[in-house]
Structure 1
Amino acid sequence: MKRPSPHRLGSMTLRLSTVILPYRRWHEGSRSAWVRAEELGFHTGYTYDHLSWRSFRDGPWFGAVPTLTAAAGVTERMRLGTLVTSPNFRHPVTLAKELITLDDISGGRVTLGIGAGGTGFDATALGQEPWTPRERADRFAEFVPLLDRLLTEDSVSYEGDFYAAHEARNIPGCVQRPRLPFAVAATGPRGLRLAARHGQAWVTTGDPRLYENGTPEQSVQAIRGQAERLADACAELGRDVTELDKILLTGFTPDRGRPLESLDAFVDFAGRHAELGFTEIVIHWPIPDSDFAADQKVVERIAMEAPAQLR
């Protein structure tokens, strides 16, 4: 197996990654998408970690970790990850075991995108009442450091307000040392502090309040503010904010799908966000007749030509 690409940015080159949603059977289009994504040179292939999602709820939808495991078997260089996993239906003990296994199978190519979760279908699928924003934040604040320990220590015992572990063993640990990287999705103060303390990367989708009626300029200003608050959180901990990669998941800003209409449109969009310090831009693999519809040929041209223009 070829050596995986490093998860840290080694220069000012802006990386380009993709999200491949698990809405197709493996041998009916999903496998070929992962293979093609690596051929096109995407840095990371991510997938959503949901039980179902929005407009895809009544159609096929497959699990994230098995999908990434299959993707690891048909790729060699491209990193793999979730964007994002949340506590909505995950427990740190079982998740850690799955991640260590996936990291081993992939040869150390896994990044865990992780967030507090929301109020979608995942929030009630296990029969629980939806958590309040405060409870989601409280659970996330306990989930992340416990998962950190589980991925770095051979044996962990812990008793918290929401999660517990009793002599949970994770030998031999991750291929990546001291553990696989966390990309923490956050915009609020508590989440940003978690990203500053435990993250190797920070993830944002922009400001959701601007999605319907905001402008691209307002979105850039809002994201600049998020990045500044991340820098403040890092400073409080004595950490250099430049140690964290900064990842923008596209498709949720007021621009919507316009950056994928042409190579020039994407380069302009990505360049504006690179100026804010972003090191990675993530685009959705095209899905016809959905919010992520795009011309496959244009997306492939972006993948092949945009990185060189953005250096």
Structure 2
Amino acid sequence: MRFGLKVNPAGWDEAAHWAGVAEAAGFDCLWTGDNLRHPRDPEIPVLDGPTVVTGWAATTSRIRVGLLVANLVFRHPTVLAKQAATMDQVSGGRFDFGIGSGLWPSDHSMAGVPMWTPRERTDRLAEFVAIVDRLLSGDVTDHSGAYYPYSLASMSPEAVRQPPLIVAANGPRALAVVAAHADGWATFPGAASEDEFYEESVRRNQSLDELLDGRAIRRILLAYGAINPWESQHGFAALVNRFARVGFDEIVVYAPKAHELQVFDQVVARLDDYR
């Protein structure tokens, strides 16, 4: 089992603090999101995701750094692919690249984009991910797709290595995008309870197995929402064991709040025991 720490910092001091904690504790990856504002409370400050990752890339030495997930509501695939190559350059090949379709109305409002239907959202995700995959592999030929046409693209300088591409997906058509293009799959409970999400995870892992036809990819659980990783040390161990049985090989936890620090410290002191 691999472990990631996700932080949505309000300022660089907070971002730098958690980067130091994550690297010292032995987390495998340090993640941040990609929202122009906090989805529920606009008074909560949120830094720009790609900029935070670039800062982490320049100031850490071991830990992988990444976006979970880059939000295609206000990104164009040619721009985002260039940013990904830059973040990988700065990190020396330690960048992990998550992409998601963006669900929050506030994302659409800030970008001046009407809310997409579920079908359009998945169609856009499929075209977007295919473009990014193609560009990062070095293919810069013109594209005339339905949503993201472009010409004269450039990917010079290239990434140190092609960043692992991780797609957030829940529905059958989005899981097909994962199978077609991704090196990893990410999912989270959303509004579901932990038990409901567990049952859905069983079905989604089985569906993904059928689509992948034997190809192995990373399977990442975002442990927040209905899942509380910092309730107790025993609860953390139970969480790891429960979702490992489903097929997940990576768990991403959120940075603890002040009242959760005691359990966090207990868990990270024994992080290797949970692998």
What interval of TM-score do these two structures reach, taking the shorter chain for normalisation? Answer: over 0.9
Partner of 1:185: 168
Partner of 2:212: 234
Contact 2:78 2:153 in 1 (8 A): yes
Measured after TM superposition, the shift of residue 79 of structure 1 is 0.6
2:247 aligned with 1:277, yes or no? yes
Partner of 1:174: 159
Measured after TM superposition, the shift of residue 279 of structure 1 is 0.7
Contact 1:251 1:283 in 2 (8 A): yes
Q: Which of the two has greater helix per residue?
A: 2
In structure 2, C-alpha distance between the alignment counterparts of 1:134 and 1:225, rounded to whole Å:
21
SS at match of 1:156: coil
Partner of 1:7: none
Superposed CA deviations along residues 232-254 of structure 1, whole A, max 9, x for unmatched, are 2212xxxx24x10110001123x
2:11 aligned with 1:16, yes or no? no
Contact 1:186 1:202 in 2 (8 A): yes
Contact 1:103 1:110 in 2 (8 A): yes
SS at match of 1:166: coil
Give matches, 1:127-166, under 5 Å. Answer: 127-153=112-138, 155-166=140-151
In structure 1, C-alpha distance between the alignment counterparts of 2:48 and 2:196, rounded to whole Å:
35
2:97 to 104, 112, 116: 112
Give matches, 1:191-210, under 5 Å. Answer: 191-206=174-189, 208-210=190-192
In structure 2, C-alpha distance between the alignment counterparts of 1:152 and 1:277, rounded to whole Å:
28
2:61 aligned with 1:76, yes or no? yes
In structure 1, C-alpha distance between the alignment counterparts of 2:269 and 2:62, rounded to whole Å:
16
Q: Against the structure 1 CA distance between its residues 141 and 33, is the aligned structure 2 distance closer, same or farther, given a 3 Å change threshold?
A: same
Superposed CA deviations along residues 62-86 of structure 1, whole A, max 9, x for unmatched, are 1011111111122111111111112
SS at match of 1:164: coil
Superposed CA deviations along residues 155-205 of structure 1, whole A, max 9, x for unmatched, are 3311111101212010232211xx111111111111101111111111111
SS at match of 1:81: strand
Superposed CA deviations along residues 121-141 of structure 1, whole A, max 9, x for unmatched, are 111212221111111111111
Partner of 2:72: 87
Contact 2:66 2:98 in 1 (8 A): yes
Which runs of 5 or more residues in structure 1 are unaligned?
A: 1-13, 289-293
Give matches, 1:56-67, under 5 Å. Answer: 56-67=41-52
Contact 1:183 1:202 in 2 (8 A): yes
Contact 2:167 2:186 in 1 (8 A): yes
Q: Against the structure 1 CA distance between its residues 41 and 306, is the aligned structure 2 distance closer, same or farther, given a 3 Å change threshold?
A: closer
In structure 1, C-alpha distance between the alignment counterparts of 2:135 and 2:225, rounded to whole Å:
32
In structure 1, C-alpha distance between the alignment counterparts of 2:187 and 2:103, rounded to whole Å:
14
Measured after TM superposition, the shift of residue 56 of structure 1 is 4.1
2:219 to 246, 253, 257: 246
Q: Which runs of 4+ in 1 moved over 3 A?
A: none
- Counterpart of 2:171 in structure 1: which amino acid? G
Partner of 1:55: 40
Q: Against the structure 1 CA distance between its residues 56 and 33, is the aligned structure 2 distance closer, same or farther, given a 3 Å change threshold?
A: farther
Which runs of 5 or more residues in structure 2 are unaligned?
A: none
Partner of 1:295: 260
SS at match of 2:143: strand
In structure 1, C-alpha distance between the alignment counterparts of 2:255 and 2:104, rounded to whole Å:
24
2:172 aligned with 1:223, yes or no? no
Q: Against the structure 1 CA distance between its residues 154 and 172, is the aligned structure 2 distance closer, same or farther, given a 3 Å change threshold?
A: farther
Root mean square deviation of aligned Cα: 1.6
Q: Against the structure 1 CA distance between its residues 56 and 299, is the aligned structure 2 distance closer, same or farther, given a 3 Å change threshold?
A: farther
Contact 2:29 2:63 in 1 (8 A): yes
Contact 2:230 2:256 in 1 (8 A): no
In structure 1, C-alpha distance between the alignment counterparts of 2:165 and 2:131, rounded to whole Å:
13
SS at match of 1:34: helix
In structure 2, C-alpha distance between the alignment counterparts of 1:267 and 1:121, rounded to whole Å:
35
Measured after TM superposition, the shift of residue 154 of structure 1 is 5.4
SS at match of 1:228: helix
- Counterpart of 1:180 in structure 2: which amino acid? P
In structure 1, C-alpha distance between the alignment counterparts of 2:71 and 2:39, rounded to whole Å:
16
2:256 aligned with 1:286, yes or no? yes
Measured after TM superposition, the shift of residue 38 of structure 1 is 0.6
SS at match of 1:210: coil
